Chains A and B, each alone.
Chain A
Amino acid sequence: MAELADLTAEERIFPGLTGTNASSVLREIAERLSGLEPFGDAESLHARLMEREELCSTGVGRGVAIPHCKINGLQQVLVTVGISESGVDFAATDGKPVHVFLVVVSPSRSPALHLQSLATISRWVKENDPVALLTGSEDPAELHRRLIGLPDHD
């Protein structure tokens, strides 16, 4: 099973999110992703993510949410990291604002992989302090290094 570090990439680390609610912050992420190769249409990605949020929030507490969906045309599970310094009211289980979004997008044809990735990320969130790790920098390269556990670059 792939680790979180294997599923992320520097180009999918989005600091400085400005959205103030679930829909606007997920729209922001979907729009930034739509510029990247496999994702395409921001509108449908946003709709998929929101469809899932409407079942119940993916805000798991401690400032973290794990929005997710499956889409066609993807070859592998891709994790995108969005960061909001000011925090977003996301109806998280502990009621606290969400600062770190770990967005999991998986190929429609691999439901098992999708589920296992969510389990892996949930474990990673439990074992780390994602908000402390991923806030306080506007530099995707720097944030990515922190995420994959390399020492700070100075």
Chain B
Amino acid sequence: MGSSRFVIMGAGQVGFHLARVLSEAGREVVVIEQDPGRMAKLEDALDVAVVGGNGAYLPVLEQAEVSRAELFLAVSSSDEANMVASLLAKRLGAERTVVRVHIADEVVSHRRTYQQAFGIDLLLSTQLLTTVRILDYLRGHRTMAVEYLAGGKVQLRKFRLDKGARLTRAPLRDLAVPRGALVVGLFRDGELLIPAGDDQAQVGDEALVLASTDVMPRAEEMISGHGQREQLVVIAGAGETGSTVADALQGWNVRVKVLERDRRRARMLADRLPKVEVLHGDATDLAFLRSEGIDRATSFVACTGQDDSNLMASLLAQELEVERVIAMVERVETRRLWKRLGDIEIVSPRALAYERIKDYVDSGYEPAIVSLREGGVFLERELVAASPAAGVTLAEMGRPPGLIVGAVVRGEKVFVPRGSDRLEAGDSVILFAQQDGLEMVQLLFPGREE
């Protein structure tokens, strides 16, 4: 306890950068790495202790003295090993753990279950961070953070409000906030404001928006700086990222084309996403791009899974005068090179993971999108017959100070409740509570945080 030792498992790009920043900040850093080449590089370049081996094994963790760790960071390339290592590190006495995985689905749908099972304090997915950032660029806004609730059915997002955001143009009451979405709070000058109908968001605020996953894309239209201008989005590559982005775009009012070199993969995506036009062909072939009318695209996303193909495809898209070009870049060290290419937005999964973890450390280990210290917390509660809120309408509940019932999940249905809506046993409710509302939560919505 109290010793500021950091144990990092995996000295890939994320692990290496974290090791460097933390050791340069004067922290005691131990890195676990099994690759001899990487071990040598670490020892040469950084002032860190290196333990050879796989962090998913007990003796290796013991050798790294994980029991004295203030933070254990599992950022190796193996999702499974990262999770197992987190579990063991916690058992050995590590104060908190961060686990980086690739796949997004597990983080969206089962975050709490994984976190509980493996003792993970912060679970993040590079794929998820990547798709969120790409969609941000397409939409023209900035998602500061996303949190998934109710098994992924409900989303909570923190957006920065830039110039032109529709949300800033009128008092909330006069804006058509989509049904199923709620502007829960506005961060302004470091204060959290819980807005009433006559409050108005300002440029520079950060808006905390709660919405069902279906409705979030429409809520994002209120945040966007460039509204509905998006007409045709072309995605090069139907891999995990490309298909997740294409899937998310189905909820927006845009045309989507996906280019994929692999015939089988192209067909699979076409079957899965009927509203998306999937073309079989090579995104680095200018003639193909021209023949498919890619020059009419407003945005182009290069995520083929290979940096050199992405580079080529992005350059061609620029040549075809596509307005907005976004490229996924795996190798962080080439980022500066890419910047020379001018107006290409670079999305680097590892850089995003690194930034997210660094934020977590810098924030004093605040995993949530908003904390009590900042003004409030989101809580998820299952209503049972013995819950006093079961059987009561929101109007009957009145407005307990410091407590907002943000969303109700009833079976497959998700809604933002109004006065006449009655809560029922079996519902899952998403609550927003401020310090003075916590006692009401305890009494009216009994349950435990995991």
Binding site for B on A (CB under 8 A): 48, 51-52, 55-58, 60-61, 66, 68-69, 93, 111-112, 114-116, 118-119, 122, 126
Residues from chain A with a CB closer than 8 A to the CB of B390 are 111
B443 pairs with A118, CB closer than 8 A = yes
User: Among the listed stretches B289-297, B330-338, B351-359, B395-403, which one makes contact with chain A, having 4 or more residues with CB under 8 Å of it?
Assistant: B395-403
Binding site for A on B (CB under 8 A): 384, 386-393, 396-398, 400, 438-440, 442-444, 446-448
Q: Which of B386, B398, B400, B440 is A52 in contact with, Cβ under 8 Å?
A: B386
Q: Which of B387, B393, B443, B448 is A122 in contact with, Cβ under 8 Å?
A: B443
B447 pairs with A122, CB closer than 8 A = no
B73 to chain A: closest CB distance in Å?
32
B391 pairs with A111, CB closer than 8 A = yes
B396 pairs with A58, CB closer than 8 A = no
B67 to chain A: closest CB distance in Å?
27
A115 pairs with B386, CB closer than 8 A = no
Q: By DSSP majority rule, is chain A's interface helix, strand, loop, or mixed?
A: helix
Instruction: Give Cα A56 to B389, complex, Å.
Output: 14
A116 pairs with B396, CB closer than 8 A = yes
A56 pairs with B442, CB closer than 8 A = yes
B444 pairs with A118, CB closer than 8 A = yes
Q: Which of A51, A61, A111, A126 is B388 in contact with, Cβ under 8 Å?
A: A111
Most buried by B among A48, A55, A57, A115: A115
Residues from chain B with a CB closer than 8 A to the CB of A111 are 388, 390-392
Instruction: Give Cα A113 to B39, complex, Å.
Output: 67
28 contacts between A and B (CB under 8 A): A51-B386, A52-B386, A55-B386, A55-B387, A55-B446, A56-B448, A58-B442, A58-B443, A58-B446, A60-B443, A61-B439, A66-B443, A69-B386, A111-B392, A112-B391, A112-B397, A114-B388, A115-B389, A115-B396, A115-B397, A116-B398, A118-B388, A119-B398, A119-B400, A119-B444, A122-B440, A122-B443, A126-B439
Nearest neighbor of A56 in chain B, beta-carbon distance: B446
Q: Which of B386, B396, B400 is A112 in contact with, Cβ under 8 Å?
A: B396
Q: A93 with B440: in contact, given A55-B387, A116-B398 (CB under 8 Å)?
A: no
Q: Which of A48, A93, A112 is B442 in contact with, Cβ under 8 Å?
A: A93
Q: Please give me the 7 A-B residue pairs with the lowest Cβ-Cβ distance, nearest first.
A: A111-B391, A55-B446, A112-B396, A56-B446, A115-B388, A52-B386, A111-B392
Instruction: Give Cα A93 to B448, complex, Å.
Output: 12
B443 pairs with A112, CB closer than 8 A = no
Instruction: Give Cα A57 to B446, complex, Å.
Output: 8
8 further A-B pairs in the complex, CB-CB below 8 A; given A68-B443, A118-B443: A56-B447, A58-B443, A58-B446, A66-B443, A68-B388, A111-B388, A112-B392, A115-B388
Residues from chain A with a CB closer than 8 A to the CB of B393 are 112
A90 to chain B: closest CB distance in Å?
12
Instruction: Give Cα A52 to B384, complex, Å.
Output: 10
Nearest neighbor of B438 in chain A, beta-carbon distance: A93
Residues from chain B with a CB closer than 8 A to the CB of A61 are 439
Residues from chain A with a CB closer than 8 A to the CB of B446 are 52, 55-56, 58
Instruction: Give Cα A58 to B396, complex, Å.
Output: 22
Instruction: Give Cα A75 to B396, complex, Å.
Output: 19
Nearest neighbor of A125 in chain B, beta-carbon distance: B439
Residues from chain A with a CB closer than 8 A to the CB of B442 are 56-58, 60, 93
Instruction: Give Cα A114 to B390, complex, Å.
Output: 11
Residues from chain B with a CB closer than 8 A to the CB of A60 are 439, 442-443
Instruction: Give Cα A60 to B447, complex, Å.
Output: 14
Q: Which of B396, B397, B438, B447 is A55 in contact with, Cβ under 8 Å?
A: B447
Residues from chain A with a CB closer than 8 A to the CB of B443 are 58, 60, 66, 68, 118-119, 122
Nearest neighbor of A126 in chain B, beta-carbon distance: B439
